[in-house]
A = this chain, B = another copy of it.
Amino acid sequence: MAERTHQQAEGHYFENEPPPKDLKTTVTLAREFINRHADEGRRVVLVTSGGTTVPLETHTVRYIDNFSAGTRGATSAEYFLENGYAVVFLHRQFSLLPFSRHYSHNTRSFLDFMKEEDDRVVVDQQHQEEMLEVLRQYTQVKREGRLLILSFVTITEYLWDLREVAKLMQPLGPKAIFYLAAAVSDFFVPRDRMVEHKIQSNEEFSLTADDENGNGNGRPPAARTEGRKLIIDLEPVPKFLKSLVDGWAPEGMIVSFKLETDPSILVKKAQYSLQKYAHHLVIGNLLLTRKWEVVFVSAMDGEKWIRVPRHRRTKSFSGIEALVGAADPTSKKEQEADSSLMTEHSIPHGEPICEIESLIIPEIEEMHTKFIQQTQARNGA
C-alpha cells in the first residue's frame, strides 16, 4: 500500500511538473556517452553535484536554495576519473566543475593568474606548474571522452534529468554507480500552486494576488504575502531515492549523502536512510567537519569513519575542527588523547593537504568491485 502510494506520488510529480527544455539534448548526449562506455566495458558513475533551487514564481525572482558550492561533487568526479571511471557530471549550473574548480569560486579573479608577455596572455610563473598539471589531466580526460557535463537549476530539472539518465544507465548493470552528492531539496512548490509574477512586498501592489489566489483550482499559492509578511508553504518532494532503488536503477550501486549540522543525529539518520531505501551506501557528513571526516554506513561494512590525518587537513574552510569526532562515539578517547598534543609546534609542516575525496573514492571503488563480483556470482549461480 505504501509502495503504491509512492508510485502514485512519483507519477503525479512527473505528470504535473514540466520537463526541462533541454531534456532531449541531455538524453541524446547521455545515451551516446553511456552506450560507448558500456560497449567498452567501462565502469560509469553518475555524480550529482550542487544544490537544487525551488522557484517561488514562474518568472523566477525568488527561490529557495540548498547550500552547496559543489566541492564534494566536483572533487569526487576528479578522483573517479583518476580511478578509470567514465563520469556523467550532473551539476547545478555555475557550481564548481572538476579541474576548473581549482581556479574558480575563490576570492581572486581568474585574471589574477594571467599576465601579458610579448603582446600575449599567458599564465604567470607562480601558477604555471600546478595549472599545467591540471590542464594535462583535463585534456586527457577530454581526449578519452570520459567526462560528460550536464546541468540543472531547479529541483524539477534535477529529478527529470536523474530519472532519464538513470534509465539510460540500466544496460551497465552493476557497473553503474550513482553517487548522489547534490544537495536536493526535500520540499517544493507544485506548478499549480506557483504564482506567475514576482510577489509584491507592499500592500499597494499586492491586490493582483487575489486574481492568482484561485488559479482555477481553488488552492492558495504556495508563496503569498499576508499583511507585511511573506508566507511560504512547501510540499514534500516524492522520495526519489526510493524510485531510483526500486525502479530507475535496479542493478546499479547507489551511494547517497546525508548532510547534518547536529552531531548527535548524524549516524542515526544515515542508518535510518539505509534501512528505509535498502540501497548500498550512505555517506554521512557534518556541515562543519565535512572536509575532514565522513562516515560510511553500509550493509556491506557497517559503520566506518574516514578521516583526514590532522596535519593534512585543509584550513581553507570555515569548519570547526574541535567537532571532528563529535558524531562518532567510538572516537571520543582518541580525540582527547590527540588534543593534548595539539599545539602549533607539534604539527608537522610541509606535508601536502589531503582532500578527503582522495580517501573516499578508492574506498568506494573497492566496494564497487565487491558489488560487481557479488552480482556476477548471483547471476552465474
Contacts and interface: CB of A to CB of B under 8 A. Distances in A.
A65 interface: yes
A265 B199 CA distance: 12
Given A139-B116, A236-B228, A261 B61 contact: yes
Nearest to A119: B132
A373 interface: no
Nearest to A261: B59
B57 A62 contact: no
Given A116-B139, A122-B122, 11 more contacts: A61-B183, A61-B261, A62-B185, A63-B65, A94-B105, A103-B111, A114-B135, A197-B260, A205-B265, A205-B268, A230-B232
Contacts of A236: 201, 228-229
Interface in A261-293: 261-262, 265, 268-269, 272, 287-288
A79 to B, nearest CB: 18
A120 interface: yes
A99 B111 contact: yes
Q: How large is the interface on A (under 10, 10 to 19, 20 to 34, 35 or more residues)?
A: 35 or more
Nearest to A59: B261
A123 interface: yes
B135 A111 contact: yes
Nearest to A196: B261
Contacts of A2: none
A59 B128 CA distance: 38
Nearest 3 pairs between A and B by C-beta? A59-B261, A186-B201, A100-B109
A351 to B, nearest CB: 26
A226 B107 CA distance: 40
A233 interface: yes
A14 interface: no
A67 interface: yes
Given A65-B64, A234-B229, A128 B136 contact: no
A272 B187 contact: no
Interface in A178-217: 183, 185-187, 196-198, 201, 204-205, 208
Contact of A66 (B61, B103, B196, B265): B61
Nearest to A262: B197
Interface in A210-250: 226, 228-236
Contacts of A196: 261
A146 to B, nearest CB: 15
Contacts of A261: 57, 59, 61, 196-198
A131 interface: yes
A134 interface: yes
20 contacts: A62-B64, A62-B66, A65-B65, A69-B94, A99-B111, A100-B110, A121-B132, A186-B230, A198-B262, A198-B287, A204-B272, A205-B268, A205-B272, A208-B265, A229-B235, A230-B233, A230-B234, A231-B233, A232-B233, A232-B234
A43 to B, nearest CB: 24
A310 B198 CA distance: 27
Contacts of A198: 259-262, 287
